[in-house]
Amino acid sequence: MSATPSSRLLTPEVLAGLANLELVARTAVEGFLIGLHRSPRFGFSQEFAEFRAYVEGDDPRFVDWNVFARTERTYIRRYEGETNTRLFVLLDASASMGYRSTSTVSKLQYAKFLAAALSYLASKQHDPVGLIVFDDTVRHYRPPSSRSGSLHGVLHALDSATAGQRTDIAGCFQKFREHMSRRGLVAVISDLYCDPVAMSRAVQPLAYTGHDIMFFHVLDPSEISPQWRDSVLFEDMESGQTMEVSPDYLEGGYKQKLDEHLAGVRRAAGSVGADIVLARTDEPLDRALRRYLMFRQRH
């Protein structure tokens, strides 16, 4: 009897105790892949996908040299998932991402774990991985590359990312287009505190240029279901503004507005053909990774 995924995979708290980000990514992904192999519903990577003649532009690493030796014809052997997709990881490192309530990891930490895991997963597929760290501007850019050592560069950049200033997703997406000329898969990891309509408008050009976009909406458990028993004076981590809020509002009005906001960003994502997944910082990474693989299979 196999264990359930939730018990098999490491929680964010455990991952936070690991020494470095590469180890976090390797631990999370390897555990996740073991779960996949035992699952009858998913096939991944090593299953034969196609066998076709070599055309110019194909990666010579995929040439089936055994067939070439027998027939002197050059064929390409492809497996499922080896579709040579560029992965852009867009990491929101704004001040709001530094929020942490009672969980061990902050949203930014969780986002870094997720980004590292995605990068590691892509690297295993020999997919080029690029990274953009942003808040109200692009703070770090690393072009996609599949060369050996590029993963270390990405992980190092992720490791050094800290919570910065305010968020401006719409503004940043204008700049992303300058860096993402070739189509690929764009993983946006953010808490998406922005206007969904403006976000949709900003993402649209990327979608039109052929990018497949996936949003990882990272939220803290206290943001999803706040539990204050008394009135509380909140201070915005980005603007510094304060606001006294009653527990009654947090129970009713806030949840309603949050649901509306989540629905709004889902609609905005859907309008541009993007996928969106809500990632709680107290949950393991597997849910997000599964959604990522499913999304990748579709595209």
Partner 1 sequence: MLLAPLFLLGLLGIGLPLWLHRFARDTRTKEPFASLMLLEPSRIHRSREHTLRYLILLALRIALLALIVLAFAQPSLPWRTPPLEGRDRTLHVIVLDTSLSMRQGERWTRAVEKARSLINALRTADQAMLVTADSRVRVVKGPVNQAAADELRTALGGLQPSAARLDYGMLMTSAPSWIGTERPVTQFHLITDLQQSAAPLQFADLEPPQGVKLVLEDVGTAAVNQYVRSVGVSEHDANVLEVRIGGAHLARTVVLTLDGKEKARKTLPAAGAGPADAGAPNSAEGALKSAPLAGEDSRATPVLPNADTRALFSDLDLGAGTHRVIVTLEPADSLPQDDPFFSVLERREPRALVIGANSTADDVSYFAAAVGALTNPRLTVERTGAGALTQRALADYSVLVVSDVGVLNGATISTLERYLEGGGSVLMTLGPRAAQRDRIPLSTHVLDARSLKAQGANAHGEVAGRVAAVEESHPALRDAQGWRSVRFFRYVPVTPLPDDSVLIRFEDGHPLLIERHVGAGRLLVLTSPLDRDWSDLAIHPLFVRFIGEAARYLTAAAAAPNAIVGAVLPTGVNGRNGAQVFDPTGKRVLALSDTAGQTRLFAQTVGFYEVRGGGRSDWIAVNADPRESDLARMPAAGVAQWNRLQTPERATATVQQANADAGPQLKALWPWLLLLAVTLAFVEPLVANSYLHVRRGVTP
- Encoded amino acid at 5, one letter: P
Residue 22, phi then psi, degrees to nearest 5: -65, -40
| C-beta of 30 vs 235, nearer to partner 1 | 235
Contact between 205 and 177 under an 8 Å Cβ cutoff? The reply is: yes
Among 168, 220, 275, 286, binds partner 1 (CB under 8 A): 220
Q: Please identify, among the stretches 10-18, 85-93, 200-208, 244-252, the one whose residues bind partner 1 according to the rule CB under 8 A.
A: 244-252
176 binds partner 1 (CB under 8 A): no
Distance CA 68, CA 219 (A): 52
**Residue 60 has which token pair?**
């010579």
Instruction: Report the DSSP beta bridge partners of residue 279.
Output: 218
For the bound state, the minimum distance from the C-beta of residue 189 to partner 1, rounded and expressed in Å, comes to 15
248 binds partner 1 (CB under 8 A): yes
| C-beta of 28 vs 265, nearer to partner 1 | 265
For the bound state, the minimum distance from the C-beta of residue 112 to partner 1, rounded and expressed in Å, comes to 16
Contact between 134 and 103 under an 8 Å Cβ cutoff? The reply is: no
Distance CA 256, CA 179 (A): 37
13 binds partner 1 (CB under 8 A): no
65 binds partner 1 (CB under 8 A): no
107 binds partner 1 (CB under 8 A): yes
Distance CA 198, CA 196 (A): 5
Among 42, 62, 79, 254, binds partner 1 (CB under 8 A): 254
For the bound state, the minimum distance from the C-beta of residue 258 to partner 1, rounded and expressed in Å, comes to 6
Among 6, 231, 294, 297, binds partner 1 (CB under 8 A): 231
For the bound state, the minimum distance from the C-beta of residue 133 to partner 1, rounded and expressed in Å, comes to 18
Instruction: Report the DSSP beta bridge partners of residue 275.
Output: 214
Instruction: Report the DSSP beta bridge partners of residue 132.
Output: 90, 141
Reference 105, options 287, 283, 289, 286; nearest CA is: 283
| C-beta of 30 vs 260, nearer to partner 1 | 260
Distance CA 55, CA 73 (A): 12
222 binds partner 1 (CB under 8 A): yes
End-to-end CA distance of the chain: 33
Please give the residue ranges that form the binding site for partner 1 (CB under 8 A): 96-97, 99, 101-103, 107, 191, 193, 220-223, 227-239, 241-246, 248-249, 253-254, 257-258, 261
